[in-house]
């Protein structure tokens, strides 16, 4: 099943070669009505620009910061709206660095992401200020910068709507709970490890991307922390993460997940950063979250209703 038209297009789309992740903060003097009007208008513009080059599969999503929902959108809110999780007993950082807006641009072409990002930044000036801009790129055959394939066990595209989209029969139907985290990898220390040790940290083989069997996969492997069964079913999120970085500067993974409930990301992250339900994720000794946020991506009809 393709992404239903009621959902914003970046949520369920198959992997792209490029992305641009933008965060914005609202200018206090801008009224909520004017902010919403601007968001409705840029949604229309993004659809127009995206459709000009079908081969590039341009798509986008706009998320509203959870803490900003009431003041920006109003008192009616998605049923499960929840802030970025905080864990008192975490041994790894998972900072919440909230913003009012998150814009996710995706394309096969870097220039589309760049141009759309520039136009939106200038269209929003006066109501929202750009806080950060991070370009994501496909690395080799969809590998994270650690050298491991990332995205293999993502739900197949036609299963994504049932994982990522709110299905309640209400005004938020087609919306999605979005979590983002910017991770900075310590690649120098990572590369000092031999491949067998790296594989034990991820829980999969490096070259041919096979899951380690249960006898060899340690409890603190990344895969062992994030695979959670509940009532015989594996909990799922749709990950749209991408590597980012500069030569000589910070680099790592811009983690992005969409889900019909915020609870799934929260549970996975808890098992990664805490030592309570088994050992914390060993990967986090080699990669550190430096930013994070929880957003709700409203259904498209809601954006259209703001014009």
Touching ligand HEM, residues 175-194 (CB under 6 A)? 181, 183
SS3 289: strand
Q: Which of 150, 209, 213, 215 is catalytic?
A: 150
Shortest Å, Cβ 78 to ligand HEM: 20
Cα dist. 62→42, 82, 158, 180 in Å? 10, 17, 22, 13
Task: Please list, in sequence order, all residues whose beta carbon lies within 8 angstroms of the beta carbon of residue 254, skipping any fewer than 6 positions away.
Answer: 19, 21, 134, 136, 180, 181, 182, 183, 241, 242, 243, 244
Does the protein bind ligand HEM through residue 148 (CB under 6 A)? yes
Shortest Å, Cβ 183 to ligand HEM: 4
Structure tokens at 204: 């999969």
Tell me if residue 231 is catalytic.
Answer: no
Does the protein bind ligand HEM through residue 120 (CB under 6 A)? no
Q: Name residue, tokens 């549970």.
A: 267
Q: Which of 256, 259, 268, 294 is the binder for ligand HEM (CB under 6 A)?
A: 268
Q: Name residue, tokens 């087609």.
A: 174
The binding track of 222-241 with respect to ligand HEM, each residue x by CB under 6 A or -, is xx--xx---------x----
Q: Which of 40, 83, 151, 157 is the binder for ligand HEM (CB under 6 A)?
A: 151
Q: How many CB atoms lie within 10 A of CB 89?
A: 10
Task: Please list, in sequence order, all residues whose beta carbon lies within 8 angstroms of the beta carbon of residue 261, skipping any fewer than 6 positions away.
Answer: 80, 177
The binding track of 274-303 with respect to ligand HEM, each residue x by CB under 6 A or -, is ---------x---x----------------
Shortest Å, Cβ 244 to ligand HEM: 12
Task: Please list, in sequence order, all residues whose beta carbon lies within 8 angstroms of the beta carbon of residue 181, skipping any fewer than 6 positions away.
Answer: 94, 254, 255, 289, 291, 292
Structure tokens at 303: 């954006």
Report the distance separating Cα 18 and Cα 2, nearest Å. 21
Asked whether the beta carbons of 158 and 1 are under 8 A apart, the reply is yes
Does the protein bind ligand HEM through residue 216 (CB under 6 A)? no
Query: Residue 115 or 153: which CB sits closer to ligand HEM?
Result: 153
Binding piece for ligand HEM, criterion CB under 6 A, among 60-68, 70-78, 101-109, 267-275: 267-275
Q: What are phi and psi of 294, to 5 degrees?
A: -115, 130
Does the protein bind ligand HEM through residue 265 (CB under 6 A)? yes
Report the distance separating Cα 154 and Cα 160, nearest Å. 9
Shortest Å, Cβ 39 to ligand HEM: 27
What DSSP line would sit under 201-253, residue for residue?
HHTB-TTT--BPPTTTS-TTSHHHHH--EETTEE---EE--EEEE-TTS-EEE
Query: Residue 73 or 268: which CB sits closer to ligand HEM?
Result: 268
Paired residues of 130 in beta bridges: 24
Does the protein bind ligand HEM through residue 72 (CB under 6 A)? no
Does the protein bind ligand HEM through residue 269 (CB under 6 A)? yes
Does the protein bind ligand HEM through residue 146 (CB under 6 A)? yes
Does the protein bind ligand HEM through residue 261 (CB under 6 A)? no
Query: Residue 109 or 200: which CB sits closer to ligand HEM?
Result: 200
Does the protein bind ligand HEM through residue 150 (CB under 6 A)? yes
Does the protein bind ligand HEM through residue 32 (CB under 6 A)? no
Active site residues: 150
Please report, as ranges, the residues that interact with ligand HEM according to CB under 6 A: 144, 146, 148-153, 181, 183, 202, 204, 222-223, 226-227, 237, 253, 255, 265, 268-269, 272, 283, 287
């Amino acid at each position: 099943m393709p992404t239903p038209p009621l959902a914003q297009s970046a949520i369920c789309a198959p992997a792209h070669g490029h992305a641009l992740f933008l965060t914005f903060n609202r200018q206090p003097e801008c009224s909520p009505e004017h902010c919403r009007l601007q968001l409705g208008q840029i949604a229309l513009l993004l659809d127009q620009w995206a459709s000009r080059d079908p081969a590039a599969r341009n798509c986008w999503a706009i998320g509203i910061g959870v803490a900003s929902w009431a003041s920006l959108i109003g008192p009616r809110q998605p049923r499960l709206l929840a802030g970025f999780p905080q864990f008192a007993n975490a041994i790894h950082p998972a900072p919440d660095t909230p913003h009012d807006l998150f814009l996710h641009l995706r394309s096969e072409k870097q220039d589309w992401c760049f141009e759309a990002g520039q136009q939106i930044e200038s269209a929003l000036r006066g109501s929202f200020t750009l806080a950060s801009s991070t370009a994501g790129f496909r690395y080799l055959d969809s590998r994270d910068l650690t050298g491991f394939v990332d995205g293999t066990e993502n739900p197949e595209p036609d299963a994504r709507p049932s994982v990522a989209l709110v299905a309640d029969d209400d005004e938020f139907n087609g919306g999605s709970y979005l979590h983002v985290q910017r991770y900075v990898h310590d690649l120098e220390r990572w590369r000092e490890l031999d491949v067998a040790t790296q594989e034990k940290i991820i829980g999969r083989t490096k070259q041919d991307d096979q899951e380690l069997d249960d006898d060899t996969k340690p409890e603190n492997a990344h895969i062992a922390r994030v695979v959670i069964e509940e009532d015989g079913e594996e909990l799922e999120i749709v990950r749209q993460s991408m590597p980012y970085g500069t030569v000589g500067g910070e680099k790592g993974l811009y983690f992005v997940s969409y889900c019909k409930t915020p609870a799934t990301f929260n549970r996975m992250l808890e098992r990664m950063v805490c030592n309570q339900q088994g050992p914390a994720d060993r990967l986090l000794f080699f990669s550190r979250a430096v930013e994070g946020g929880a957003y709700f991506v409203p259904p498209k009809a809601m954006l259209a209703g703001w014009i």
